[in-house]
A and B are shown apart, each in its own frame.
Chain A
Amino acid sequence: MNAKTETTDACDLRFGQVGIACVRVRRVDAAALCEELERRVRAAPQMFSRAAVVLDLSHLLQLPDDGTVDALLEAVRSAGMLPVGLAYGTSETEALASRMGLPLIAKFRAAYEPAAATPAAETRAPEPVARPEPILAPPEAGHPLGAQHHDGSVRSGQQIYARDRDLIVTGAIANGAEVIADGNIHIYGGLRGRAMAGAQGDEKARIYVSDFRAELVAIAGQYRVFEQIPDDLEGRSVQCWLEGEKLLIAKL
Protein backbone atom coordinates (compact mmCIF):
# COMPACT_ATOMS: atom_id res chain seq x y z
CA MET A 1 0.00 0.00 0.00
CA ASN A 2 2.60 2.52 0.99
CA ALA A 3 5.68 0.52 0.08
CA LYS A 4 6.98 3.39 -2.05
CA THR A 5 7.26 5.68 0.94
CA GLU A 6 9.23 3.18 3.01
CA THR A 7 12.67 4.47 2.18
CA THR A 8 15.28 4.53 4.91
CA ASP A 9 15.67 8.27 4.58
CA ALA A 10 12.06 9.18 5.01
CA CYS A 11 11.32 7.19 8.12
CA ASP A 12 12.32 4.57 10.64
CA LEU A 13 10.47 1.31 10.63
CA ARG A 14 10.41 -0.32 14.03
CA PHE A 15 8.50 -3.07 15.69
CA GLY A 16 7.13 -2.16 19.07
CA GLN A 17 4.75 -3.74 21.50
CA VAL A 18 1.40 -2.06 21.91
CA GLY A 19 -1.50 -2.98 24.07
CA ILE A 20 -4.60 -3.35 21.96
CA ALA A 21 -8.10 -4.41 22.84
CA CYS A 22 -9.57 -7.38 21.06
CA VAL A 23 -13.29 -7.67 20.32
CA ARG A 24 -14.08 -11.35 20.27
CA VAL A 25 -17.34 -11.73 18.38
CA ARG A 26 -19.43 -14.57 19.73
CA ARG A 27 -22.49 -14.20 17.55
CA VAL A 28 -23.20 -12.36 14.36
CA ASP A 29 -25.49 -9.63 15.57
CA ALA A 30 -24.32 -6.14 14.66
CA ALA A 31 -26.99 -4.36 16.73
CA ALA A 32 -26.25 -6.38 19.86
CA LEU A 33 -22.51 -5.89 19.34
CA CYS A 34 -22.96 -2.13 19.03
CA GLU A 35 -25.11 -2.01 22.16
CA GLU A 36 -22.67 -4.10 24.20
CA LEU A 37 -19.66 -2.01 23.16
CA GLU A 38 -21.50 1.24 23.75
CA ARG A 39 -22.15 0.09 27.27
CA ARG A 40 -18.42 -0.57 27.74
CA VAL A 41 -17.47 2.80 26.32
CA ARG A 42 -19.94 4.55 28.59
CA ALA A 43 -18.64 2.65 31.60
CA ALA A 44 -15.00 3.51 30.94
CA PRO A 45 -14.83 6.26 28.34
CA GLN A 46 -11.18 7.05 29.08
CA MET A 47 -10.21 3.51 28.37
CA PHE A 48 -12.43 2.62 25.44
CA SER A 49 -13.49 5.81 23.69
CA ARG A 50 -11.65 5.91 20.34
CA ALA A 51 -9.67 2.88 21.45
CA ALA A 52 -8.00 0.91 18.70
CA VAL A 53 -9.44 -2.59 18.61
CA VAL A 54 -9.01 -5.69 16.53
CA LEU A 55 -11.94 -7.84 15.58
CA ASP A 56 -11.61 -11.52 16.37
CA LEU A 57 -13.93 -13.73 14.34
CA SER A 58 -12.27 -17.03 15.20
CA HIS A 59 -14.92 -17.98 17.72
CA LEU A 60 -17.72 -17.94 15.18
CA LEU A 61 -18.59 -21.35 13.80
CA GLN A 62 -18.55 -19.98 10.31
CA LEU A 63 -16.78 -16.96 8.92
CA PRO A 64 -19.46 -14.36 8.05
CA ASP A 65 -19.62 -12.93 4.53
CA ASP A 66 -18.08 -9.61 3.57
CA GLY A 67 -21.27 -7.61 3.98
CA THR A 68 -21.83 -8.92 7.51
CA VAL A 69 -18.24 -8.21 8.50
CA ASP A 70 -18.67 -4.68 7.18
CA ALA A 71 -21.76 -4.32 9.33
CA LEU A 72 -19.86 -5.61 12.37
CA LEU A 73 -17.01 -3.17 11.77
CA GLU A 74 -19.54 -0.35 11.40
CA ALA A 75 -21.16 -1.44 14.67
CA VAL A 76 -17.80 -1.16 16.45
CA ARG A 77 -17.24 2.29 14.95
CA SER A 78 -20.66 3.60 15.88
CA ALA A 79 -20.08 2.39 19.45
CA GLY A 80 -17.12 4.78 19.60
CA MET A 81 -14.17 2.42 19.08
CA LEU A 82 -11.85 2.28 16.12
CA PRO A 83 -11.36 -1.11 14.48
CA VAL A 84 -7.88 -1.30 13.03
CA GLY A 85 -7.63 -4.89 11.90
CA LEU A 86 -8.64 -8.50 12.23
CA ALA A 87 -7.14 -10.99 14.61
CA TYR A 88 -5.31 -13.85 13.02
CA GLY A 89 -7.41 -16.87 12.26
CA THR A 90 -7.50 -19.24 9.33
CA SER A 91 -6.47 -18.59 5.74
CA GLU A 92 -10.09 -17.58 5.09
CA THR A 93 -9.75 -14.80 7.65
CA GLU A 94 -6.61 -13.75 5.85
CA ALA A 95 -8.42 -13.56 2.53
CA LEU A 96 -11.26 -11.68 4.16
CA ALA A 97 -8.86 -9.18 5.73
CA SER A 98 -7.18 -8.48 2.41
CA ARG A 99 -10.59 -7.95 0.75
CA MET A 100 -11.49 -5.50 3.54
CA GLY A 101 -8.15 -3.73 3.21
CA LEU A 102 -7.46 -4.40 6.88
CA PRO A 103 -4.26 -5.75 8.43
CA LEU A 104 -4.19 -9.09 10.15
CA ILE A 105 -2.63 -8.84 13.58
CA ALA A 106 -0.23 -11.77 13.65
CA LYS A 107 0.53 -11.40 17.34
CA PHE A 108 -2.56 -13.45 18.14
CA ARG A 109 -1.39 -16.26 15.94
CA ALA A 110 0.11 -18.62 18.49
CA ALA A 111 -2.88 -18.30 20.75
CA TYR A 112 -5.50 -18.79 18.12
CA GLU A 113 -4.21 -21.49 15.84
CA PRO A 114 -5.13 -24.32 18.21
CA ALA A 115 -8.53 -22.71 18.72
CA ALA A 116 -9.09 -22.58 14.99
CA ALA A 117 -8.74 -26.33 14.74
CA THR A 118 -11.63 -26.87 17.14
CA PRO A 119 -13.85 -23.84 16.77
CA ALA A 120 -16.07 -24.78 19.66
CA ALA A 121 -18.00 -21.92 21.16
CA GLU A 122 -16.28 -20.82 24.34
CA THR A 123 -18.30 -19.77 27.31
CA ARG A 124 -15.77 -17.26 28.57
CA ALA A 125 -16.63 -13.61 28.36
CA PRO A 126 -14.63 -11.63 25.85
CA GLU A 127 -11.62 -10.00 27.48
CA PRO A 128 -11.63 -6.26 27.02
CA VAL A 129 -7.83 -6.05 26.89
CA ALA A 130 -6.34 -8.54 24.53
CA ARG A 131 -3.32 -10.55 25.45
CA PRO A 132 -2.14 -13.85 24.10
CA GLU A 133 -3.99 -16.73 25.67
CA PRO A 134 -1.72 -18.69 28.01
CA ILE A 135 -0.63 -21.91 26.52
CA LEU A 136 -1.35 -24.49 29.11
CA ALA A 137 -0.16 -27.51 27.23
CA PRO A 138 1.41 -30.08 29.54
CA PRO A 139 5.21 -29.93 29.51
CA GLU A 140 5.58 -33.37 27.92
CA ALA A 141 3.87 -32.05 24.81
CA GLY A 142 6.77 -29.63 24.48
CA HIS A 143 6.41 -25.91 25.01
CA PRO A 144 6.31 -24.16 21.70
CA LEU A 145 7.98 -21.12 23.27
CA GLY A 146 10.80 -23.05 24.90
CA ALA A 147 12.04 -22.03 28.32
CA GLN A 148 13.24 -18.73 29.67
CA HIS A 149 16.79 -18.87 30.97
CA HIS A 150 18.23 -16.81 33.76
CA ASP A 151 21.96 -17.12 34.27
CA GLY A 152 23.20 -16.51 37.78
CA SER A 153 21.42 -15.56 40.94
CA VAL A 154 18.18 -13.77 41.61
CA ARG A 155 18.75 -11.22 44.35
CA SER A 156 16.46 -10.18 47.17
CA GLY A 157 13.75 -7.87 45.87
CA GLN A 158 14.08 -9.06 42.29
CA GLN A 159 11.28 -10.82 40.50
CA ILE A 160 11.47 -12.91 37.38
CA TYR A 161 8.42 -13.98 35.43
CA ALA A 162 8.45 -16.41 32.55
CA ARG A 163 5.18 -15.80 30.75
CA ASP A 164 3.65 -18.79 28.98
CA ARG A 165 6.74 -20.88 29.46
CA ASP A 166 9.16 -22.70 31.73
CA LEU A 167 11.82 -20.92 33.72
CA ILE A 168 15.34 -22.18 34.23
CA VAL A 169 17.59 -20.45 36.76
CA THR A 170 21.23 -21.51 37.03
CA GLY A 171 21.96 -19.62 40.25
CA ALA A 172 20.36 -19.19 43.63
CA ILE A 173 17.09 -17.47 44.53
CA ALA A 174 17.79 -15.31 47.57
CA ASN A 175 15.49 -14.69 50.52
CA GLY A 176 12.93 -12.16 49.43
CA ALA A 177 13.39 -12.91 45.73
CA GLU A 178 10.60 -14.33 43.59
CA VAL A 179 10.57 -16.51 40.50
CA ILE A 180 7.31 -17.09 38.71
CA ALA A 181 6.50 -19.09 35.59
CA ASP A 182 3.36 -20.10 33.78
CA GLY A 183 5.10 -23.41 33.13
CA ASN A 184 7.61 -25.40 35.20
CA ILE A 185 10.47 -23.95 37.22
CA HIS A 186 13.94 -25.48 37.37
CA ILE A 187 16.43 -24.04 39.84
CA TYR A 188 19.99 -25.30 39.77
CA GLY A 189 21.13 -23.26 42.77
CA GLY A 190 19.62 -22.81 46.20
CA LEU A 191 16.02 -21.73 46.56
CA ARG A 192 15.78 -19.48 49.63
CA GLY A 193 13.05 -17.23 48.29
CA ARG A 194 9.76 -17.98 46.59
CA ALA A 195 8.96 -20.03 43.52
CA MET A 196 5.56 -20.09 41.86
CA ALA A 197 4.90 -22.39 38.93
CA GLY A 198 1.75 -22.68 36.85
CA ALA A 199 0.97 -19.07 37.59
CA GLN A 200 -1.90 -19.04 35.07
CA GLY A 201 -3.43 -22.13 36.57
CA ASP A 202 -1.56 -25.03 35.00
CA GLU A 203 -1.92 -27.75 37.61
CA LYS A 204 0.58 -29.98 35.83
CA ALA A 205 3.40 -27.52 36.36
CA ARG A 206 6.22 -28.63 38.65
CA ILE A 207 9.12 -27.06 40.50
CA TYR A 208 12.55 -28.67 40.59
CA VAL A 209 15.17 -27.37 43.01
CA SER A 210 18.68 -28.65 43.62
CA ASP A 211 19.09 -27.03 47.07
CA PHE A 212 15.80 -26.58 48.86
CA ARG A 213 15.47 -23.85 51.54
CA ALA A 214 12.38 -22.10 50.22
CA GLU A 215 10.23 -19.50 51.94
CA LEU A 216 7.30 -20.48 49.78
CA VAL A 217 6.49 -22.70 46.85
CA ALA A 218 3.25 -22.56 44.89
CA ILE A 219 1.75 -24.40 41.95
CA ALA A 220 -1.39 -23.12 40.25
CA GLY A 221 -2.27 -21.05 43.28
CA GLN A 222 -1.82 -23.85 45.86
CA TYR A 223 1.01 -22.82 48.10
CA ARG A 224 3.04 -23.89 51.08
CA VAL A 225 5.05 -21.60 53.30
CA PHE A 226 7.95 -22.85 55.34
CA GLU A 227 8.48 -21.25 58.67
CA GLN A 228 10.67 -24.22 59.41
CA ILE A 229 12.01 -26.29 56.56
CA PRO A 230 11.58 -30.02 57.27
CA ASP A 231 14.95 -31.56 58.12
CA ASP A 232 14.64 -34.27 55.50
CA LEU A 233 14.16 -31.67 52.75
CA GLU A 234 16.51 -28.88 53.76
CA GLY A 235 19.40 -28.53 51.36
CA ARG A 236 18.22 -31.49 49.28
CA SER A 237 17.20 -31.64 45.67
CA VAL A 238 13.45 -31.87 45.53
CA GLN A 239 10.53 -31.65 43.21
CA CYS A 240 7.16 -30.13 43.96
CA TRP A 241 3.94 -31.08 42.23
CA LEU A 242 0.21 -30.91 42.69
CA GLU A 243 -2.00 -33.88 43.47
CA GLY A 244 -5.55 -32.68 43.55
CA GLU A 245 -5.43 -29.68 45.85
CA LYS A 246 -2.42 -30.92 47.73
CA LEU A 247 1.03 -29.57 47.05
CA LEU A 248 3.53 -32.36 47.47
CA ILE A 249 7.28 -32.14 47.88
CA ALA A 250 9.67 -35.05 47.67
CA LYS A 251 13.37 -35.64 47.49
CA LEU A 252 14.73 -36.45 44.07
Chain B
Amino acid sequence: MTAEIIVVTSGKGGVGKTTTSASLATGLAMAGKKVAVIDFDVGLRNLDLIMGCERRVVYDFVNVVHGEATLKQSLIKDKRYENLFVLAASQTRDKDALTQEGVEKVLDSLSEEGFDYVICDSPAGIEKGAHLAMYFADKAVVVVNPEVSSVRDSDRILGLLASKTRRAERGEGQVTQHLLLTRYNPARVAIGEMLSVTDVEDILGIKVVGVIPESENVLTASNNGVPVIVDTASPAGQAYSDTVARILGEERPLRFIDVPKKGFLQRVFGG
Protein backbone atom coordinates (compact mmCIF):
# COMPACT_ATOMS: atom_id res chain seq x y z
CA MET B 1 0.00 0.00 0.00
CA THR B 2 1.58 3.24 -1.07
CA ALA B 3 0.74 6.61 0.34
CA GLU B 4 -1.43 8.88 -1.74
CA ILE B 5 0.33 12.14 -2.45
CA ILE B 6 -1.85 15.25 -2.57
CA VAL B 7 -0.37 18.59 -3.54
CA VAL B 8 -2.06 21.80 -2.41
CA THR B 9 -1.13 24.45 -4.91
CA SER B 10 -2.40 27.64 -6.54
CA GLY B 11 0.18 29.63 -8.45
CA LYS B 12 -0.81 32.85 -6.76
CA GLY B 13 0.27 33.60 -3.21
CA GLY B 14 -1.95 34.38 -0.28
CA VAL B 15 -4.99 32.47 -1.46
CA GLY B 16 -5.01 29.97 1.40
CA LYS B 17 -2.74 27.10 0.41
CA THR B 18 -1.20 26.61 3.83
CA THR B 19 -4.54 27.06 5.62
CA THR B 20 -5.97 24.44 3.28
CA SER B 21 -3.02 22.06 3.71
CA ALA B 22 -3.34 22.25 7.48
CA SER B 23 -7.09 21.67 7.47
CA LEU B 24 -6.97 18.97 4.81
CA ALA B 25 -4.26 17.06 6.68
CA THR B 26 -6.07 17.44 9.98
CA GLY B 27 -9.38 16.43 8.40
CA LEU B 28 -7.91 13.28 6.93
CA ALA B 29 -6.35 12.49 10.31
CA MET B 30 -9.75 13.04 11.97
CA ALA B 31 -11.08 10.42 9.53
CA GLY B 32 -8.56 7.98 11.00
CA LYS B 33 -5.94 8.15 8.24
CA LYS B 34 -2.24 8.31 8.91
CA VAL B 35 -1.18 11.62 7.42
CA ALA B 36 2.02 13.59 6.91
CA VAL B 37 1.96 17.20 5.80
CA ILE B 38 5.10 18.69 4.27
CA ASP B 39 5.91 22.38 3.90
CA PHE B 40 7.67 22.90 0.54
CA ASP B 41 8.01 26.64 1.05
CA VAL B 42 11.68 26.62 1.94
CA GLY B 43 12.79 29.98 3.28
CA LEU B 44 9.26 31.16 4.09
CA ARG B 45 7.99 28.44 6.34
CA ASN B 46 4.48 28.93 7.69
CA LEU B 47 2.82 25.57 7.99
CA ASP B 48 4.34 24.89 11.42
CA LEU B 49 2.77 28.13 12.69
CA ILE B 50 -0.68 27.22 11.47
CA MET B 51 -0.33 23.69 12.82
CA GLY B 52 0.83 25.16 16.13
CA CYS B 53 4.09 23.24 16.33
CA GLU B 54 6.60 26.00 15.52
CA ARG B 55 8.43 25.59 18.82
CA ARG B 56 8.97 21.89 18.29
CA VAL B 57 10.80 22.10 14.95
CA VAL B 58 14.30 20.69 15.48
CA TYR B 59 15.07 19.13 12.12
CA ASP B 60 13.28 20.04 8.93
CA PHE B 61 12.52 18.82 5.42
CA VAL B 62 15.81 20.13 3.99
CA ASN B 63 17.77 18.29 6.69
CA VAL B 64 16.10 15.03 5.67
CA VAL B 65 16.62 15.66 1.97
CA HIS B 66 20.33 16.25 2.64
CA GLY B 67 20.65 13.24 4.92
CA GLU B 68 21.48 15.39 7.94
CA ALA B 69 18.61 13.94 9.94
CA THR B 70 16.41 10.88 9.75
CA LEU B 71 12.79 11.11 8.78
CA LYS B 72 11.77 9.94 12.28
CA GLN B 73 13.72 12.76 13.91
CA SER B 74 12.12 15.35 11.67
CA LEU B 75 8.47 14.33 11.72
CA ILE B 76 6.65 16.36 14.36
CA LYS B 77 3.70 14.60 15.91
CA ASP B 78 0.58 16.75 16.07
CA LYS B 79 -0.58 17.57 19.58
CA ARG B 80 -4.24 16.81 18.80
CA TYR B 81 -4.12 13.77 16.53
CA GLU B 82 -1.50 11.10 17.04
CA ASN B 83 -1.75 9.87 13.44
CA LEU B 84 -0.87 13.31 12.04
CA PHE B 85 2.69 14.45 11.45
CA VAL B 86 4.24 17.69 10.21
CA LEU B 87 7.46 18.02 8.26
CA ALA B 88 8.45 21.66 8.47
CA ALA B 89 10.33 23.65 5.86
CA SER B 90 13.66 25.20 6.60
CA GLN B 91 13.58 28.92 7.25
CA THR B 92 17.30 29.47 6.81
CA ARG B 93 17.96 27.76 3.49
CA ASP B 94 17.01 28.95 0.03
CA LYS B 95 14.62 27.24 -2.31
CA ASP B 96 17.34 25.46 -4.25
CA ALA B 97 18.05 23.31 -1.20
CA LEU B 98 15.51 20.75 -2.40
CA THR B 99 16.33 18.20 -5.08
CA GLN B 100 14.04 15.93 -7.03
CA GLU B 101 15.85 12.76 -5.90
CA GLY B 102 15.82 13.94 -2.30
CA VAL B 103 12.10 14.67 -2.35
CA GLU B 104 11.38 11.33 -4.00
CA LYS B 105 13.35 9.54 -1.29
CA VAL B 106 11.42 11.27 1.49
CA LEU B 107 8.08 10.46 -0.15
CA ASP B 108 9.10 6.83 -0.65
CA SER B 109 10.17 6.54 2.99
CA LEU B 110 6.82 7.97 4.12
CA SER B 111 5.12 5.32 2.02
CA GLU B 112 7.20 2.61 3.68
CA GLU B 113 6.32 4.01 7.11
CA GLY B 114 2.69 3.21 6.36
CA PHE B 115 1.35 6.68 5.77
CA ASP B 116 -2.01 6.80 3.97
CA TYR B 117 -1.70 10.38 2.78
CA VAL B 118 1.11 12.84 2.23
CA ILE B 119 -0.02 16.44 1.80
CA CYS B 120 2.48 18.66 0.00
CA ASP B 121 1.99 22.35 0.79
CA SER B 122 3.33 24.10 -2.29
CA PRO B 123 4.95 27.54 -2.28
CA ALA B 124 3.43 30.21 -4.52
CA GLY B 125 4.74 30.61 -8.03
CA ILE B 126 5.71 28.04 -10.63
CA GLU B 127 9.40 27.84 -9.77
CA LYS B 128 11.40 24.92 -8.45
CA GLY B 129 9.70 24.60 -5.08
CA ALA B 130 6.23 24.54 -6.60
CA HIS B 131 7.41 22.17 -9.32
CA LEU B 132 8.86 19.71 -6.80
CA ALA B 133 5.73 19.91 -4.64
CA MET B 134 3.50 18.87 -7.54
CA TYR B 135 5.87 16.57 -9.41
CA PHE B 136 5.10 13.36 -7.52
CA ALA B 137 1.43 14.09 -6.83
CA ASP B 138 -1.45 11.67 -7.38
CA LYS B 139 -4.05 14.28 -6.58
CA ALA B 140 -4.00 18.04 -6.59
CA VAL B 141 -6.07 20.53 -4.69
CA VAL B 142 -5.88 23.80 -6.59
CA VAL B 143 -6.80 26.63 -4.26
CA VAL B 144 -8.43 29.59 -5.97
CA ASN B 145 -9.96 32.86 -4.80
CA PRO B 146 -12.96 34.34 -6.58
CA GLU B 147 -10.98 37.00 -8.41
CA VAL B 148 -9.54 37.07 -11.92
CA SER B 149 -5.81 37.00 -11.26
CA SER B 150 -6.12 34.01 -8.96
CA VAL B 151 -8.28 32.22 -11.52
CA ARG B 152 -5.77 32.80 -14.27
CA ASP B 153 -2.85 31.57 -12.15
CA SER B 154 -4.85 28.48 -11.25
CA ASP B 155 -5.46 27.85 -14.91
CA ARG B 156 -1.71 27.92 -15.49
CA ILE B 157 -1.20 25.51 -12.60
CA LEU B 158 -3.86 23.14 -13.96
CA GLY B 159 -1.94 23.14 -17.24
CA LEU B 160 1.32 22.34 -15.47
CA LEU B 161 -0.35 19.55 -13.49
CA ALA B 162 -1.38 17.98 -16.78
CA SER B 163 2.11 18.13 -18.25
CA LYS B 164 4.90 18.62 -15.70
CA THR B 165 4.24 15.83 -13.23
CA ARG B 166 5.67 12.34 -12.94
CA ARG B 167 2.31 10.84 -13.86
CA ALA B 168 2.11 12.94 -17.01
CA GLU B 169 5.71 12.25 -17.98
CA ARG B 170 5.33 8.51 -17.50
CA GLY B 171 1.93 8.45 -19.16
CA GLU B 172 0.32 7.02 -16.02
CA GLY B 173 -2.81 9.09 -16.41
CA GLN B 174 -3.83 12.45 -15.12
CA VAL B 175 -3.24 13.86 -11.69
CA THR B 176 -6.76 14.04 -10.22
CA GLN B 177 -7.59 17.74 -10.07
CA HIS B 178 -9.74 19.24 -7.32
CA LEU B 179 -10.63 22.91 -7.41
CA LEU B 180 -11.14 24.52 -4.01
CA LEU B 181 -12.66 27.98 -3.90
CA THR B 182 -11.60 29.86 -0.75
CA ARG B 183 -12.35 33.29 0.71
CA TYR B 184 -15.79 33.15 -0.85
CA ASN B 185 -18.08 35.97 0.16
CA PRO B 186 -21.65 35.37 -1.08
CA ALA B 187 -22.70 38.92 -0.26
CA ARG B 188 -19.97 40.41 -2.47
CA VAL B 189 -20.72 37.87 -5.19
CA ALA B 190 -24.36 38.97 -5.12
CA ILE B 191 -23.41 42.59 -5.84
CA GLY B 192 -20.95 41.59 -8.53
CA GLU B 193 -17.71 42.35 -6.68
CA MET B 194 -16.52 38.76 -6.75
CA LEU B 195 -16.70 35.94 -9.24
CA SER B 196 -19.36 33.36 -8.47
CA VAL B 197 -18.83 29.61 -8.14
CA THR B 198 -20.31 29.14 -11.61
CA ASP B 199 -18.08 31.86 -13.11
CA VAL B 200 -14.96 30.16 -11.77
CA GLU B 201 -16.13 26.71 -12.85
CA ASP B 202 -16.92 28.04 -16.33
CA ILE B 203 -13.58 29.75 -16.81
CA LEU B 204 -11.53 26.84 -15.54
CA GLY B 205 -13.70 24.12 -16.99
CA ILE B 206 -13.76 21.97 -13.83
CA LYS B 207 -16.13 21.64 -10.89
CA VAL B 208 -15.22 22.80 -7.41
CA VAL B 209 -14.63 20.22 -4.70
CA GLY B 210 -15.51 22.73 -2.03
CA VAL B 211 -16.24 26.36 -1.29
CA ILE B 212 -14.76 27.86 1.87
CA PRO B 213 -16.54 31.03 2.97
CA GLU B 214 -14.51 34.07 3.93
CA SER B 215 -14.59 34.16 7.70
CA GLU B 216 -12.83 35.73 10.64
CA ASN B 217 -12.54 32.30 12.21
CA VAL B 218 -9.84 31.42 9.68
CA LEU B 219 -7.57 34.25 10.77
CA THR B 220 -8.20 33.66 14.46
CA ALA B 221 -7.56 29.94 14.12
CA SER B 222 -4.36 30.50 12.12
CA ASN B 223 -3.04 32.99 14.64
CA ASN B 224 -3.70 30.51 17.43
CA GLY B 225 -1.99 27.68 15.60
CA VAL B 226 -5.17 25.70 15.21
CA PRO B 227 -6.25 24.41 11.78
CA VAL B 228 -9.68 25.93 11.18
CA ILE B 229 -11.23 22.51 10.51
CA VAL B 230 -10.88 21.78 14.23
CA ASP B 231 -13.31 24.63 14.90
CA THR B 232 -16.41 22.62 14.03
CA ALA B 233 -18.71 25.50 14.94
CA SER B 234 -17.37 27.85 12.27
CA PRO B 235 -18.71 27.83 8.71
CA ALA B 236 -15.16 27.66 7.32
CA GLY B 237 -14.40 24.65 9.52
CA GLN B 238 -17.57 22.90 8.39
CA ALA B 239 -16.85 23.72 4.75
CA TYR B 240 -13.40 22.16 5.10
CA SER B 241 -14.95 19.04 6.70
CA ASP B 242 -17.28 18.76 3.70
CA THR B 243 -14.35 19.16 1.33
CA VAL B 244 -12.32 16.44 3.03
CA ALA B 245 -15.33 14.12 2.88
CA ARG B 246 -15.71 14.81 -0.85
CA ILE B 247 -12.03 14.14 -1.48
CA LEU B 248 -12.54 10.82 0.32
CA GLY B 249 -15.33 10.05 -2.13
CA GLU B 250 -18.43 11.11 -0.21
CA GLU B 251 -21.11 13.24 -1.86
CA ARG B 252 -22.16 16.34 0.01
CA PRO B 253 -24.06 19.39 -1.21
CA LEU B 254 -22.23 22.72 -1.31
CA ARG B 255 -22.98 24.96 1.67
CA PHE B 256 -22.31 28.61 2.47
CA ILE B 257 -22.60 29.77 -1.13
CA ASP B 258 -25.71 31.88 -0.67
CA VAL B 259 -26.12 35.12 1.22
CA PRO B 260 -27.06 34.11 4.78
CA LYS B 261 -30.51 35.29 5.82
CA LYS B 262 -30.31 37.45 8.87
CA GLY B 263 -32.46 36.60 11.84
CA PHE B 264 -34.84 39.08 13.39
CA LEU B 265 -32.49 40.06 16.20
CA GLN B 266 -29.55 40.44 13.82
CA ARG B 267 -31.62 42.71 11.62
CA VAL B 268 -32.56 44.86 14.60
CA PHE B 269 -29.15 45.03 16.23
CA GLY B 270 -26.91 44.53 13.21
CA GLY B 271 -24.70 41.50 12.83
Bound: A154/B159 CA distance, A:
7
* Contacting residue for B152 out of A152, A153, A156, A189, CB 8 A: A156
Interface residues of B in 201-236 (CB under 8 A from A): 202-205
* Contacting residue for B156 out of A153, A157, A171, A189, CB 8 A: A157
Decide if A172 touches B205 in the complex (CB within 8 Å). yes
B158 within 8 A of A: yes
Q: Report the count of interface residues on A (CB-CB < 8 A).
A: 16
CB contact under 8 A between A175 and B205, given known A155-B159, A156-B159, A157-B159: no
**Which of A157, A171, A175 has the largest number of chain B CB atoms within 10 A?**
A157
Bound: A15/B160 CA distance, A:
29
**Which of A174, A175, A189 has the largest number of chain B CB atoms within 10 A?**
A174
Across the interface, name the chain A residue whose C-beta is closest to B163: A158
Decide if A155 touches B203 in the complex (CB within 8 Å). no
Residues of chain B within 8 A (CB-CB) of A139 are: none
Q: Report the count of interface residues on B (CB-CB < 8 A).
A: 13
Decide if A189 touches B159 in the complex (CB within 8 Å). no
Determine how close the nearest CB of chain B comes to the CB of A215; give it in whole angstroms: 12
Residues of chain B within 8 A (CB-CB) of A189 are: 205
Residues of chain B within 8 A (CB-CB) of A158 are: 159, 163
Across the interface, name the chain A residue whose C-beta is closest to B148: A175
A176 within 8 A of B: yes
B155 within 8 A of A: yes
Residues of chain B within 8 A (CB-CB) of A192 are: 203
Decide if B205 touches A176 in the complex (CB within 8 Å). no
B162 within 8 A of A: yes
Bound: A152/B202 CA distance, A:
13
Residues of chain B within 8 A (CB-CB) of A156 are: 152-153, 155-156, 159
Decide if B159 touches A175 in the complex (CB within 8 Å). no
Determine how close the nearest CB of chain B comes to the CB of A156; give it in whole angstroms: 4
- Please encode chain A, from 125 to 166, with 1 for each CB lying within 8 Å of some chain B CB and 0 for all others: 000000000000000000000000000111111100000000
Across the interface, name the chain A residue whose C-beta is closest to B204: A174
Residues of chain B within 8 A (CB-CB) of A171 are: 205
Interface residues of B in 34-83 (CB under 8 A from A): none
Across the interface, name the chain A residue whose C-beta is closest to B151: A175
Determine how close the nearest CB of chain B comes to the CB of A177; give it in whole angstroms: 8
Interface residues of B in 157-202 (CB under 8 A from A): 158-160, 162-163, 202
A-B contact pairs, 25 of them (CB 8 A): A152-B205, A153-B205, A154-B159, A155-B155, A155-B158, A155-B159, A155-B160, A155-B162, A156-B152, A156-B155, A156-B156, A157-B155, A157-B160, A158-B159, A158-B163, A172-B205, A174-B159, A174-B203, A175-B152, A176-B155, A176-B156, A177-B155, A189-B205, A190-B202, A192-B203
In addition to A155-B160, A175-B152, A189-B205, 7 A-B residue pairs with Cβ atoms within 8 Å of each other are: A154-B159, A155-B159, A157-B156, A157-B159, A157-B160, A175-B155, A176-B155
